[in-house]
Chains A and B, each alone.
Chain A
Amino acid sequence: MEGYSVIGERLPRVDAKEKVTGGAKYAADYSLPGMLWCKLLRSPYAHARILSIDTSRAEKLRGVRGVVTGKDFGGWTWGWMLTTRDEPPLAVDKVRYLAEAVAGVAAIDEDIAEEATELIKVDYEELPGVFDPEEAMKEGAPKVHDYVKNNISAEYHWNFGDVEKAFAQSYIVREDKFRTSRATKGYLEPPAILACYDPAGYITVWAAKQSPYFLYRHLAACFKLPLSKVRIVQPFIGGGFGGTKNDSLAGDFCSVLLSKMTGKPVKYVESQEEELMTSRRRHNMIVYSKMGVNKDGTLTAIHHRVIADGGGYTAIGPMSLYLAGIATTLPYKLPNFKYDGYRAFTNNPIQAAMRGHGITHTRFAAEIQMDMIAEELRIDPVEIRMRNAIEKPKPGTIYETINKVTLKTCGLKEAIQEVSEDPIWRDRDKMSKKEGDVSWGVGLSCAPYLGGARLLGHQSCAATVRICEDGTVNLITGATDCGQGSDTVLCMIAAEELGINVKDIELKRVDTAYTPVDPGSWGSRVTLLAGQATQIAAREAKKKLLEVAAKEWQVKPEEIEIRGGKAFIKSDPGRSIPFERLARMACYSGTGAVILGTGYSGYGLEPSGLTSGFGNPGISYSFTAQSAKVGVDLETGKIIVTDFTIASDCGRLLNPITAEGQIEGASIQGLGQTIYEDFIMDRGKTLNPTFLDYKMPFSMDVPNIKLIDIVTDDPDGPFGAKEASEGSIVSAPPAIVSAIHHATGVWMKELPVTPERIWRALKEKPGDKK
Chain B
Amino acid sequence: MKEIKLTVNGKLHELTIKPWRTLLEVIRDELGLTGTKEGCGIGECGACTVIMNGNAVNSCLVLAAEANGKEILTIEGLADGDKLHPIQEAFINHGGMQCGFCTSGMILSAKVLLERNPNPTEEEIRKGISGNFCRCTGYTKVIESIKEASKNLQ
Contacts and interface: CB of A to CB of B under 8 A. Distances in A.
Q: Do A and B come from one complex?
A: yes
Interface string A664-682: 1111110000000000000
A18 to B, nearest CB: 8
Contacts of B133: 188, 691, 696, 698
Given A664-B137, A698-B130, A657 B42 contact: no
B33 to A, nearest CB: 7
Interface in B104-154: 104, 107, 125-127, 129-143
Nearest to B32: A31
A519 interface: no
A603 to B, nearest CB: 25
Residue of B100, B102, B138 ringed by the most chain A CB atoms within 10 A? B138
A140 interface: no
Interface in B62-109: 74-76, 78-79, 84, 88, 91-104, 107
Contact of B101 (A185, A239, A702, A705): A239
Contacts of A19: 97, 100, 103
A83 interface: no
Contacts of A16: 91-92, 97
Contact of A22 (B34, B93, B131, B139): B34
B47 interface: yes
Contacts of A29: 28, 34
A19 to B, nearest CB: 3
A12 B100 CA distance: 13
B35 A239 contact: no
B45 interface: yes
A665 B88 contact: no
Interface in B25-77: 28, 33-42, 44-45, 47, 74-76
A239 B97 CA distance: 11
Contact of B40 (A241, A272, A483, A669): A272
A661 interface: yes
A112 B91 CA distance: 40
Contacts of B103: 19-20
A229 interface: no
A668 B138 CA distance: 5
B139 A272 contact: no
A100 to B, nearest CB: 22
Residue of B97, B98, B103, B133 ringed by the most chain A CB atoms within 10 A? B98
A702 B139 contact: yes
Contacts, number: 169
A22 B36 contact: yes
A484 interface: yes
B24 to A, nearest CB: 12
A665 B78 CA distance: 27
A441 interface: no
Contact of A23 (B35, B125, B142): B35
Contact of B140 (A18, A21, A240, A664): A664
B39 A188 contact: yes
Contacts of A483: 98-101, 136
Residue of B91, B133, B140 ringed by the most chain A CB atoms within 10 A? B140
Interface in A19-40: 19-26, 28-29
Contact of A700 (B93, B130, B135): B130
A668 B34 contact: no
A692 B95 contact: no
Chain B contact surface mostly: loop
A189 interface: yes
B37 A17 contact: no
B137 A661 contact: yes
Nearest to A690: B42
B97 A705 contact: no
Given A661-B95, A665-B98, A691-B44, A700 B127 contact: yes
Contacts of B33: 22
A24 B36 CA distance: 11
Contact of A189 (B28, B94, B101, B129): B101
Given A188-B39, A188-B101, A483-B136, A20 B91 contact: yes
Contacts of A21: 35, 75-76, 78-79, 84, 88
B41 A272 contact: yes
A28 B38 contact: yes
A669 B138 CA distance: 7
Contacts of B79: 21
Contacts of B88: 20-21
Contacts of A698: 130-131, 133
A23 B141 CA distance: 21
Given A20-B103, A22-B76, A699-B129, A239 B44 contact: no
Contacts of A28: 34, 38
Contact of B138 (A24, A240, A657, A664): A664
A236 B100 contact: yes
A32 to B, nearest CB: 13
Nearest to A12: B92
A752 interface: no
A700 B122 CA distance: 10
A690 B40 contact: yes
A658 interface: yes
A241 B99 CA distance: 11
A271 interface: yes
A238 B47 CA distance: 11
A433 interface: no
A709 interface: no
A277 B43 CA distance: 18
A588 interface: no
Residue of A20, A22, A23, A697 ringed by the most chain B CB atoms within 10 A? A20
Contact of B135 (A25, A186, A660, A667): A186
B95 A13 contact: yes
Given A690-B44, A691-B42, A698-B130, A13 B97 contact: yes
A16 B98 CA distance: 9
Nearest to B43: A692
A665 B45 contact: no
B135 A669 contact: yes
A410 interface: no
A666 B99 CA distance: 14
Nearest to B122: A704
28 contacts: A12-B93, A13-B97, A18-B100, A20-B107, A21-B84, A22-B36, A23-B35, A29-B34, A187-B99, A188-B40, A188-B102, A189-B101, A239-B136, A241-B135, A272-B42, A273-B41, A483-B99, A484-B98, A485-B98, A657-B95, A657-B141, A660-B95, A667-B138, A691-B42, A691-B44, A698-B130, A699-B127, A700-B127
Given A25-B34, A188-B45, A698-B130, 4 more contacts: A19-B97, A189-B101, A236-B100, A239-B101
Interface of A: 12-13, 15-26, 28-29, 185-190, 236-241, 269, 271-273, 482-485, 657-658, 660-662, 664-669, 690-692, 696-700, 702, 705
